[in-house]
Amino acid sequence: MSSPDSFKYQIHISVDGHSLLDINNFEIPRNKVTLLFGESGIGKSMLSKAVYGLLDPQELDVVVNEQPYDSYLETRAAMEMKEYGFFVFQEPSSHLNPLLTLSEQLQEGSLAQAGTEAEILKNLWGSTQGMGVRQVLSVYPKPYRPSGGEKQRVLLAMAFKKIELYTEELEPSPYSVFVFDEPTGSLDNETRDMFLNALFKKYRKCPFTVLLITHDYSMISEIFKNHEDLVDQIAFKELTLKKRKLSLNDFYPQDYLDWLETNKEGTKRRRAHLSRSPKDVLLRLETGSIIFGRRLHTSKASRTEKTNPLILRKNQIVYLKAASGVGKTTMAKVVMGLMRCRELDLKIGQHRLTDETPTRYWQDHLWGRKIGMVFQHADEALNLNARVKDIFAGLPFPEHITPDYVAQQLESYFPGEVDEIFLNKPIKLLSGGQKQRLNLLRTFSLDPDVLILDEPLNGLDFLSIKKIIDLLLAKQQEGKGILLISHNEEIFDSLGTADKLHLRAEHAGYHQSSSTA
């Protein structure tokens, strides 16, 4: 099943005769760190769970290296992989026990034998002295307490304790694999870098086998900046789907780094072609709206009491920045009229909107005409039971949505994928990345003056990211105003054409006054 220097797999997964996943060249190099990229929902998590023995043979028909799954699970490799390795799930709540405090779970089973818990926590929190860590450890994990990022760090701490036990073994199992499935999806960039520092610190002490699944291409920059000595020990891979067949390919990190540099070099040229005037204001939201008992303030600087309205002009991208949970998406939905708030003072074009403006007004005069939104999760926007070819049904301007237009747009967003099988496929059966491309396509096709994009690169592979960035720059040149919410700071910072606006929230009862400039 495996050579001395790598684990190699042929994997086929189906249900009721319907093929879900098929790959002949899935490989995990031993004692290396594999960074696995690829579109969301393409099969990265399912592959890693199949290898790790985490799929249910009663629910899925799984064949690994021509072995029935029951037989594969009894092999030494599969049994020792689970016993001596660790799997960090993308959604940490699926691993944490709601009946035990997080502190108790950090001491469960063999984890109690690892003696450097305080050091591990410090590496992930920056300190073990603050109330934050102690409060988190005393909590019974519930859906909304503690936060997703805190749960994620606790699960990472468990993985690091297991890694410590591995590094202390005189003869560690050759089948130990440590899987991190989107380990930084709930973390800001600073905490992500703390995780990478902790991981590579352990790896330098004693190499071990790591499979790190991620959509965060900016990890590449962090590795080349601060961990370049380990580049030769890192396998950069990308999972791709062509004609319903999966393939594992090399990903060349220099392609990403060169693309970033090209973006930066084009910054001055792009700025020179962008003109703005006071008459070009497409949207203005006064600071200080109240929702969920919190007052939302925007400002041009991150550390200031001075506030500034959210102003969006033609040819302008405004990049709304804040930590997870502050209210970026909430603010976007308020602007769209999808959430009601107090003390709303909003102008879109010539339309003045307040707390008393009925939602129907947005529907009749603004949605799809003046303003459109791409949601972070495509499932919120798409009819999952519809077929791909029906994606434009129900849009408010059907006159230009001709069959030729549909074919042209789909081919542009899905090059080489469009055939009768694809056109008739229910949207619920698409990958997350495919859904996101349809999500973007629907909103862009309406061609509104203002585009609100909430994590537009969510779940996309590198090729799709480049195409979407080119499209956004083209929309900017056309005169559109774009309000952007994204954790892909490095990518959008490299463009140099986005004006940053910082968002903060305070308890509405504490607000004394606000100023605008």
d(CA 274, CA 23): 47
pLDDT reading at 201 higher than 70: yes
- Confirm if 279 and 265 have CB atoms less than 8 A apart: no
The CA angle 212-213-214, to the nearest 5 degrees, is: 115
Average pLDDT, the chain: 88
Taking alpha carbons only, the member of 180, 214, 185, 184 closest to residue 461 is 214
- Confirm if 397 and 436 have CB atoms less than 8 A apart: no
d(CA 273, CA 294): 39
Of residues 510 and 507, more confidence is placed in 507
Q: What percent of the chain has pLDDT over 70?
A: 93
Q: What is the pLDDT of residue 131?
A: 46
- Structure confidence by residue, pLDDT tens digits, 99-112: 999 999 999 999 99
Q: What is the pLDDT of residue 325?
A: 74
- Structure confidence by residue, pLDDT tens digits, 290-307: 999 899 999 998 877 899
pLDDT reading at 394 higher than 80: no
DSSP state of 110: G
Around Cβ 233, how many Cβ atoms within 10 Å?
Answer: 16
d(CA 278, CA 312): 10
Give the model's confidence band at 127: pLDDT under 50 very low, under 70 low, under 90 confident, else very high. low
Q: What is the pLDDT of residue 511?
A: 43
Q: What value does the mean pLDDT take over residues 311-328?
A: 88
Taking alpha carbons only, the member of 498, 444, 436 closest to residue 475 is 444
**Which residues on neighbouring strands pair with residue 8, listed in sequence order?**
27
Handedness of CA 413, 415, 420, 424 (dihedral sign): negative
Q: What is the pLDDT of residue 516?
A: 32
- Confirm if 321 and 488 have CB atoms less than 8 A apart: no
The full DSSP string for 395-457 is: -S-GGG--HHHHHHHHHHHSTTT-SHHHHTSBGGGS-HHHHHHHHHHHHHHH--SEEEEESTT
Of residues 517 and 173, more confidence is placed in 173
**Among 145-159, 201-215, 330-344, whose mean pLDDT is lowest?**
145-159
d(CA 189, CA 14): 37
Give the model's confidence band at 276: pLDDT under 50 very low, under 70 low, under 90 confident, else very high. low
d(CA 348, CA 303): 28
Taking alpha carbons only, the member of 381, 378, 446 closest to residue 409 is 446
Give the model's confidence band at 517: pLDDT under 50 very low, under 70 low, under 90 confident, else very high. very low
Of residues 399 and 111, more confidence is placed in 111
pLDDT reading at 498 higher than 80: no
Give the model's confidence band at 94: pLDDT under 50 very low, under 70 low, under 90 confident, else very high. confident
- Structure confidence by residue, pLDDT tens digits, 52-63: 999 999 999 999
pLDDT reading at 461 higher than 80: yes
Give the model's confidence band at 281: pLDDT under 50 very low, under 70 low, under 90 confident, else very high. very high
Give the model's confidence band at 274: pLDDT under 50 very low, under 70 low, under 90 confident, else very high. low
Q: What percent of the chain has pLDDT over 90?
A: 53
